[in-house]
């Protein structure tokens, strides 16, 4: 089973700051890829256009099509990787499925099988990526969306079955739980089970 190149367990005290960098990088890459994504908002088969098609079951029943991209930020011997699948800019309801890696090694996603877990499991080196899913369908004010995964339970895998230049093709399946409340009460919404396929554009940026 092929893994992300040279995976190591990240230092938990350094994990969250680089996770923030990862999210900031994703926002920039999302803006840069708007033209490409708008040309393929329906998730077509063009190997040179990013696409994502997902089916959500459980607490939410939905089918979404959009874009998929992988942003890798390498800086000062740290790597923050964000892999996002989300809808076209301005699409309602908002949704986003995210896989991420933060650690000390430079990583490049290539064909192979990758495990998905929550933040704690990834920080401990037990899973290749942590995963979370955000969706506005069930949200109630003032929260703009409902989150599954992240700190909640996550179990799944990604299979990258092909590569064309800097585009990666494959499928995934993952079950995500809503995080428990800070008071320790049970999660207020049920789990979601998500399956899908992607043609993800991978971009790497190096910083001093």
User: Mean pLDDT across the chain, nearest whole number?
Assistant: 79
Nearest to 176 by CA among 196, 150, 200: 150
pLDDT, residue 181, reads: 61
41 — pLDDT class (breaks 50, 70, 90) = very low
Q: pLDDT per residue over 60-82, tens digit each?
A: 999 999 999 999 988 877 889 99
Q: pLDDT per residue over 142-176, tens digit each?
A: 678 889 999 899 999 999 999 999 999 999 999 99
Q: What is the mean pLDDT of residues 12-37?
A: 45
In this model, does residue 27 exceed pLDDT 50? no
Structural domain spans, the chain = 12-207
Q: What is the DSSP letter of 139?
A: -
pLDDT, residue 53, reads: 97
90 — pLDDT class (breaks 50, 70, 90) = confident
pLDDT, residue 148, reads: 93
In this model, does residue 187 exceed pLDDT 50? yes
pLDDT, residue 183, reads: 56
Q: What is the 3-state secondary structure (H, E, C) of 30-99?
A: HHHCHHHHHCCCCCCCCCCCCEEEEEEEECCCEEEEEEEEEEEEEECCEEEEEEEEECCCCCCCCEEEEE
């Amino acid at each position: 089973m092929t893994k992300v190149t040279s995976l190591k367990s990240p230092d938990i005290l350094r994990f969250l700051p680089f996770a923030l960098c990862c999210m900031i990088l994703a926002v920039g890459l999302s803006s840069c890829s708007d033209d490409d994504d708008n040309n393929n908002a329906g998730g077509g088969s063009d190997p040179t256009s990013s696409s994502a098609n997902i089916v959500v079951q459980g607490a939410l029943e939905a089918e979404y099509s959009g874009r998929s991209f992988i942003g890798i930020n390498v800086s000062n011997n740290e790597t923050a990787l964000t892999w996002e699948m989300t809808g076209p800019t301005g699409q309602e309801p908002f949704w986003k499925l995210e896989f991420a890696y933060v650690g000390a090694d430079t990583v490049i996603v290539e064909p192979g099988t990758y495990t998905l877990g929550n933040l704690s499991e990834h920080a401990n080196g037990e899973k290749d990526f942590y995963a979370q899913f955000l969706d506005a369908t069930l949200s109630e004010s003032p929260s703009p969306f409902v989150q599954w995964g992240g700190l909640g339970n996550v179990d799944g895998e990604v299979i990258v079955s092909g590569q064309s230049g800097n585009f990666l093709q494959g499928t995934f399946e993952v079950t995500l739980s809503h995080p428990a409340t800070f008071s320790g009460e049970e999660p207020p919404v049920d789990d979601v089970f998500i399956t899908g396929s992607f043609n993800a554009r991978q971009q790497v940026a190096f910083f001093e």
